[in-house]
């Protein structure tokens, strides 16, 4: 198995929303905001290559949204899914599977594209797209807090075209196997039924857990986004995740960190889990 990052660009979100109850005087040292209190975040997708599959994990926000939407989130940067895949010598047609951790716009927006006439089509024409049924139902009937994050034009057409596969959930709270070397785990604090991946590569563990811990700035337990539907559940899930990472000496892969793509964790002198060594995937696997 080979694992690589695929950068889908940068965007901005309100710093207070991203750091929740943590005071600005603390989080602003980590990710300084602009004059509008907006911080830059990455949309760092993942490519998993096996003998017979090329699995893209998440798709960023895409480029089909209108100018008003783009004004709110300021997508920017030199990278896109296409350019990043091109750097890996791949085309959209080469992707066999698209795994969607959850259906918020910044994770699923690139799954479908639009023609000049406004017609939707799958960005990855030869791929099967994967989610789970409970999360799909949640996204189809969104609560007021999440309604703006679930844009149905990003995912409903996938189901209409017969391209959307519902992964069989074998356990609601524990990890379960999906494919060789790939275990999945569902989380309920950020949104209902978000999926994280536990990957075993060359005997080592990699963790891509989307918005449970979106950046290296969110390692500490109180650092929970205001976007989360159940912050206390997020803390509980993150605490259990900390224990697993430490037990397995794993590398955590950050989807939204604007600077650090991945890092280990460690326990400090007070027994709290904190950021360990900043390492890229190849360095970690070769160590």
Task: Dump pLDDT digits (tens) for 53-92.
Answer: 999 999 999 999 999 999 999 999 999 999 999 999 999 9
Cα separation of the two ends of the chain: 17
Given a cut of 90, whether residue 24 has pLDDT beyond it is yes
Q: How many domains does the chain have?
A: 1
Q: Which of 11, 42, 40 lies closest to 28, judged by CA?
A: 40
Mean pLDDT over 112-136 rounds to 96
List beta partners, residue 45: 6
How far is it, in rounded angstroms, from Cα 145 to Cα 82?
32
Mean pLDDT over 172-198 rounds to 97
Share of the chain above pLDDT 90, in %: 97
Mean pLDDT over 94-109 rounds to 98
> Model confidence at 223, in pLDDT bands (50, 70, 90)?
very high
Token pair recorded at residue 270: 């007070």
Q: Could you tell me the residue range of the domain that residue 185 belongs to? A: 2-286
> Model confidence at 159, in pLDDT bands (50, 70, 90)?
very high
pLDDT score of 31: 98
CATH number at 146 reads 3.60.15.10
Given a cut of 90, whether residue 123 has pLDDT beyond it is yes
Mean pLDDT over 180-193 rounds to 98
Mean pLDDT over 15-23 rounds to 97
Given a cut of 90, whether residue 240 has pLDDT beyond it is yes
* CA 226 to chain centroid: 17
Mean pLDDT over 241-261 rounds to 98
Share of the chain above pLDDT 70, in %: 100
> Model confidence at 258, in pLDDT bands (50, 70, 90)?
very high
How far is it, in rounded angstroms, from Cα 245 to Cα 120?
40
pLDDT score of 248: 98
> Model confidence at 102, in pLDDT bands (50, 70, 90)?
very high
pLDDT score of 287: 87
Token pair recorded at residue 211: 């918005």
């Amino acid at each position: 198995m080979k694992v690589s990052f695929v950068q889908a660009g940068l965007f901005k979100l309100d710093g207070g929303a991203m750091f929740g109850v943590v005071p600005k005087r603390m989080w602003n040292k980590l990710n300084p905001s602009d004059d509008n209190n907006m911080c830059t975040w990455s949309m760092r997708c993942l490519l998993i290559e096996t003998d017979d599959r090329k699995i893209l994990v998440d798709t960023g926000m895409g480029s089909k949204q209108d100018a008003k939407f783009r004004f709110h989130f300021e997508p920017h940067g030199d990278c896109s899914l296409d350019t990043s895949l091109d750097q890996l010598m791949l085309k959209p047609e080469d992707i066999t599977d698209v795994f969607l951790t959850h259906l918020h716009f910044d994770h699923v927006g690139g799954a479908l594209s639009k023609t000049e006439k406004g017609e939707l089509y799958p960005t990855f024409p030869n791929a099967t797209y994967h989610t789970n049924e409970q999360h799909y139902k949640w996204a189809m009937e969104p609560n007021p807090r999440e309604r703006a994050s679930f844009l149905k034009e990003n995912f409903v057409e996938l189901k209409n075209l017969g391209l959307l596969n519902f992964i069989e959930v074998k356990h609601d709270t524990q990890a379960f196997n999906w494919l060789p070397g790939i275990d999945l785990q569902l989380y309920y604090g950020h949104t209902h039924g978000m999926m994280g991946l536990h990957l075993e590569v060359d005997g080592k563990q990699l963790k891509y857990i989307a918005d449970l811990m979106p950046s290296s700035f969110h390692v500490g337990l109180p650092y929970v986004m205001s976007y989360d539907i159940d912050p206390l559940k997020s803390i509980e899930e993150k605490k259990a995740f900390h224990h697993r990472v430490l037990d397995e000496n794993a590398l955590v892969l950050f989807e939204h960190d604007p600077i650090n793509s991945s890092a280990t964790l460690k326990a400090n002198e007070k027994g709290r889990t904190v950021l360990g060594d900043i390492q890229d995937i190849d360095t970690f696997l070769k160590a």
